[in-house]
């Protein structure tokens, strides 16, 4: 695990894994990491770390890493190593040829939440200014896009409301569709510390996750809902609060739009939203929902933390708005110890969204159709911008299959493994004429690529990541890029080869441009970050030291807006052929598609994804612990090892998606959130049988 020798210098940088954004001291001997030690002054971690951040950096020098640009005419041909000049000019010529034949909108790009703000900013600028369209989207499309939509509509900005430290002032902690112990371990420790001090815990999750009962921590209420019924549960909680007179009327009158509250109150009070009426839908006893609602509304400071179990549903945006409604109705917003907080999966999900990666929004969440905002960017960039929103990732795939979208730049994201319905994604990629992958490794997506631009690991990047609490952390290089070029530099050179002048002397200059064009980043610079500590945006003249707690004296949109959240059952139904519901998640020692963690030596690393199944569901299928089983849905099938688990309720099975061999997304569907197209990874009707059985 440790490198060789004793360190003789160190560099303070930021973990490249989850959205907690822990600060580390990389201790080095020359250019080699000897060990990573958590930095005691890290604003997010205060000297703590988890197994991934501390020990899983070996992938940066793994033998699989590609260090030379490569091209090939077709995906059947072998890769050919070429110079940077040849690769960039080849890519530009292929993209230009597509645009000449099929139109400006026939190409686009996808940004990565694993890359720095500066790298993401460069890609969206290239797409808008050099590709001349808004066909740019982010991998956050498939995780937290409903957070962007839901929190913007209710509060006015697409971000969590609190700093992590705030949890120490919470009296009631409501965890919804998140498993912080595995996915956000350092924050989970902070949360558990507060729970051990006496704060009460409510968990809404189909699984009995670790938090429900672990040493010295026990949830006051666990609501093990049926997957897909989040909105019914949150409506039933809100119904209890409204009909039992638990609304914080003074807060609502002062801070929220009265007509929106009146409409919402009338809707939520309907008998159809009562816990009793929804008991059969959610599978949760009405009295448990009522008890949890009373605790959240009357137990003191109530803080909500949620994860992908909220967003990755066909009603993901409704659920985010349902949580925001709840916080406003009870006055749990705008001070320490309360709030609505998305726990972001990847290190820079927040940043990739902030940087203008959505097809309808420029950096700072400003709509592309706003002529004044667009004018600012046009003047600064010396480019004419398309006022029409571009294609989202699922729309790009659909357009590829109908022949109107033919070229794609993919930054550091393995869409062939991570996006739902693998067969559909593969067919779309196969149909394209030019796929450019920028990554460390030849990932699953690279199988469909024509150009490969080698990327940089976090140990070579010079930039910033923004964590789940809006904290902008410096990412400092320990050495120059191994493949000879910063990722943003490759992007800038590709833009120039496409005919648009773009470039910066260094990462600091990119941040200066971001600050000049993005009001919430106006006071941010590398100089400031390097002379002090990390900063939480908004950071500008009004808040030069940043903003740990948002919406303190007023919402960003002025007054808070209640949104109606009618429960609509998912179209994904179980039946006799597919009687179980599959839901997916992560484990502690792996990270997402595993491209990094699978390439790090560690004896405790899990070797395969497994399927957790309740003992009753296993028994009636003749499945024993450790058996290989076939997991099939209406979309596809895969083989995976079964583990009998009492954490699962009957009728629900669970797996992770860290390994391409089991490929959980072979079975997940294309159903998606009504507002943002975030895939419904959390609900797939499946059948499980012993492998090789009819």
Q: Of 278 and 475, which CB lies nearer to ligand SF4 in the complex structure?
A: 475
Question: Which secondary structure element, helix H or strand E, spans residue 172, and what is its range?
Answer: strand 172-176
**Subset of 488-527 contacting ligand SF4 (CB under 6 A):** none
Burial label for 296, CB within 10 Å (0-12, 13-18, 19+), is buried
Q: Of 55 and 267, which CB lies nearer to ligand SF4 in the complex structure?
A: 55
Select the span of 42-50, 136-144, 295-303, 685-693 touching ligand SF4 (CB under 6 A). Answer: 42-50
Contacts with 525 (C-beta within 8 Å, 6 or more apart), sequence order: 508, 511, 512, 515
C-beta contacts of 639-644 below 8 A and 24+ residues apart: 639/691, 640/608, 640/609, 640/610, 640/611, 640/664, 641/608, 641/610, 641/611, 642/610, 642/611, 642/613, 642/618, 642/688, 643/610, 643/611, 643/612, 643/613, 644/612, 644/613, 644/614, 644/615, 644/618
Question: Which secondary structure element, helix H or strand E, spans residue 279, and what is its range?
Answer: helix 275-282
> Given candidates 49, 350, 418, 655, which one binds ligand SF4 under the rule CB under 6 A?
49
Could you give the CA distance from residue 558 to residue 322 in angstroms, rounded to a whole number?
A: 19
**Subset of 193-222 contacting ligand SF4 (CB under 6 A):** none
Interaction of residue 36 with ligand SF4, rule CB under 6 A = no
Question: With the CA atoms of 413, 414, 417 and 423 taken in that order, what torsion angle do they form, in degrees rounded to the nearest 10?
Answer: 110
Beta bridge partners of 410: 110, 437
Q: Of 278 and 343, which CB lies nearer to ligand SF4 in the complex structure?
A: 343
Cβ 666 to ligand SF4 shortest distance, Å? 27
> Given candidates 17, 57, 164, 537, which one binds ligand SF4 under the rule CB under 6 A?
17
Select the span of 47-55, 237-245, 349-357, 579-587 touching ligand SF4 (CB under 6 A). Answer: 47-55
Select the span of 11-19, 167-175, 421-429, 574-582 touching ligand SF4 (CB under 6 A). Answer: 11-19
Cβ–Cβ < 8 Å for 58, 601: yes
Select the span of 178-186, 288-296, 366-374, 440-448 touching ligand SF4 (CB under 6 A). Answer: 178-186
Cβ–Cβ < 8 Å for 108, 131: yes
Cβ 42 to ligand SF4 shortest distance, Å? 9
Interaction of residue 53 with ligand SF4, rule CB under 6 A = yes
Could you give the CA distance from residue 51 to residue 451 in angstroms, rounded to a whole number?
A: 34
Interaction of residue 20 with ligand SF4, rule CB under 6 A = yes
Interaction of residue 113 with ligand SF4, rule CB under 6 A = no
Cβ 34 to ligand SF4 shortest distance, Å? 17
Question: Which secondary structure element, helix H or strand E, spans residue 38, and what is its range?
Answer: strand 32-38
In the complex, residue closest to ligand SF4 by CB: 53
Interaction of residue 52 with ligand SF4, rule CB under 6 A = yes
Interaction of residue 186 with ligand SF4, rule CB under 6 A = yes
Task: Assess whether the previous peptide bond of 538 is cis (omega < 30° from 0).
Answer: yes
> Given candidates 28, 33, 34, 50, which one binds ligand SF4 under the rule CB under 6 A?
50
Cβ 14 to ligand SF4 shortest distance, Å? 8
Interaction of residue 55 with ligand SF4, rule CB under 6 A = no
Select the span of 108-116, 182-190, 311-319, 381-389 touching ligand SF4 (CB under 6 A). Answer: 182-190
Interaction of residue 167 with ligand SF4, rule CB under 6 A = no
Parallel/antiparallel/unpaired status of strands 610-613 and 637-644: parallel
Interaction of residue 185 with ligand SF4, rule CB under 6 A = yes
DSSP-assigned letters across all residues of 149-171: HHHHHHTSSSS-SS-GGGGGG-S
Interaction of residue 21 with ligand SF4, rule CB under 6 A = yes
Total residues at the site for ligand SF4 (CB under 6 A)? 14
Cα–Cα nearest to 226, from 262, 152, 280: 280
Q: SS3 for 269?
A: coil
Select the span of 46-54, 304-312, 421-429, 511-519 touching ligand SF4 (CB under 6 A). Answer: 46-54
Interaction of residue 342 with ligand SF4, rule CB under 6 A = no
Select the span of 44-52, 108-116, 393-401, 635-643 touching ligand SF4 (CB under 6 A). Answer: 44-52
Interaction of residue 305 with ligand SF4, rule CB under 6 A = no
Select the span of 70-78, 184-192, 322-330, 559-567 touching ligand SF4 (CB under 6 A). Answer: 184-192
Could you give the CA distance from residue 686 to residue 575 in angstroms, rounded to a whole number?
A: 9
Cβ–Cβ < 8 Å for 381, 373: no
Could you give the CA distance from residue 242 to residue 258 in angstroms, rounded to a whole number?
A: 15
Question: Which residues bind to ligand SF4, rule: CB under 6 A?
Answer: 15, 17-18, 20-22, 45, 49-50, 52-53, 184-186
């Amino acid at each position: 695990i440790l490198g060789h020798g004793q360190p003789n210098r160190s560099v303070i940088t930021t973990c490249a894994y989850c959205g907690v954004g822990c600060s580390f001291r990389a201790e080095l001997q020359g250019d080699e990491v000897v060990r990573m030690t958590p930095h005691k002054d890290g604003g997010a971690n205060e000297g703590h770390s988890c197994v991934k951040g501390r020990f899983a950096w070996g992938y940066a020098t793994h033998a699989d890493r590609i260090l030379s640009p490569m091209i090939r005419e077709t995906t059947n041909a072998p890769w050919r190593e070429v110079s940077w000049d040849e690769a960039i000019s080849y890519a530009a010529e292929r993209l230009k040829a597509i645009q000449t034949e099929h139109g400006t909108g026939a190409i686009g790009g996808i940004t990565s939440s694993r890359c720095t703000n500066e790298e993401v900013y460069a890609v969206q600028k290239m797409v808008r200014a050099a590709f001349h369209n808004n066909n740019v989207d982010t991998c956050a499309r498939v995780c937290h896009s409903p957070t962007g939509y839901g929190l913007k509509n209710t509060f006015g900005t697409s971000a969590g409301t609190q700093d992590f430290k705030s949890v120490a002032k919470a009296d009631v902690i409501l965890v919804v569709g998140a498993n912080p112990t595995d996915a956000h371990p350092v924050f989970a420790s902070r949360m558990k510390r507060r729970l051990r001090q006496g704060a009460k815990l409510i968990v809404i999750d189909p699984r009995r996750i670790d938090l429900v009962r672990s040493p010295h921590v026990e949830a006051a209420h666990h609501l093990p809902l049926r997957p897909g019924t989040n909105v019914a549960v949150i409506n039933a909680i809100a119904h209890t609060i409204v009909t039992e007179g638990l609304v914080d009327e003074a807060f609502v009158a002062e801070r929220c739009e009265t007509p929106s509250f009146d409409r919402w109150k009338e809707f939520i009070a309907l008998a159809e939203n009562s816990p009793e009426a929804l008991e059969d839908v959610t599978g949760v006893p009405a009295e448990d929902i009522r008890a949890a609602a009373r605790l959240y509304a009357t137990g003191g400071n109530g803080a909500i933390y949620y994860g992908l179990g909220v967003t990755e549903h066909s009603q993901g945006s409704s659920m985010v708005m349902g949580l925001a409604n709840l916080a406003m109705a009870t006055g749990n917003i705008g001070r320490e110890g309360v709030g609505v907080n998305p726990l972001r999966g990847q290190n820079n999900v927040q940043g990739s969204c902030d940087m203008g990666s959505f097809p309808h929004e420029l950096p700072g969440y400003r709509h592309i159709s706003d002529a004044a905002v667009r004018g600012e960017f046009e003047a600064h960039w010396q480019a004419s911008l398309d006022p029409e929103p571009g294609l989202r990732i699922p729309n790009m795939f659909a357009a590829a299959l109908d022949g109107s979208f033919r070229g794609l730049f993919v930054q550091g994201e393995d869409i062939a493994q991570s996006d739902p319905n693998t067969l559909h994604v593969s067919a779309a990629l196969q149909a394209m004429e030019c796929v450019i992958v920028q990554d460390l490794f030849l990932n699953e997506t690279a199988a469909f690529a024509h150009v490969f631009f080698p990327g940089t690991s976090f140990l070579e990047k010079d930039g910033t990541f923004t964590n789940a609490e809006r904290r902008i952390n410096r990412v400092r290089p320990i050495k120059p890029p191994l493949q000879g070029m910063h990722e943003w530099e490759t992007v800038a050179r590709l833009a120039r080869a496409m005919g648009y002048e773009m470039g910066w002397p260094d990462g600091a200059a990119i941040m200066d441009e971001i600050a000049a064009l993005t009001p919430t980043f106006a006071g941010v610079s590398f100089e400031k970050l390097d002379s002090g500590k990390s900063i939480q945006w908004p950071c500008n003249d009004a808040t030069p030291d940043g903003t740990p707690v948002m919406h303190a004296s007023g919402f960003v949109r002025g007054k808070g807006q209640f949104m109606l959240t009618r429960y609509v059952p998912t179209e994904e139904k179980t039946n006799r052929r597919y009687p179980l519901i599959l839901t997916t998640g992560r484990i502690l020692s792996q990270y997402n598609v595993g491209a990094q963690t699978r390439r790090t030596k560690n004896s405790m690393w899990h070797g395969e994804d497994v399927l957790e199944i309740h003992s009753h569901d296993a028994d009636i299928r003749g499945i024993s612990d450790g058996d290989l089983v076939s997991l099939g849905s209406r979309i596809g099938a895969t083989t995976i090892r079964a583990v009998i688990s009492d954490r699962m309720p009957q009728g629900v099975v669970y797996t992770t998606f860290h390994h391409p061999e089991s490929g959980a997304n072979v079975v997940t569907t294309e159903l998606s959130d009504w507002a943002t197209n975030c895939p419904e990874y959390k609900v797939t009707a499946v059948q499980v049988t012993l492998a090789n059985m009819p």
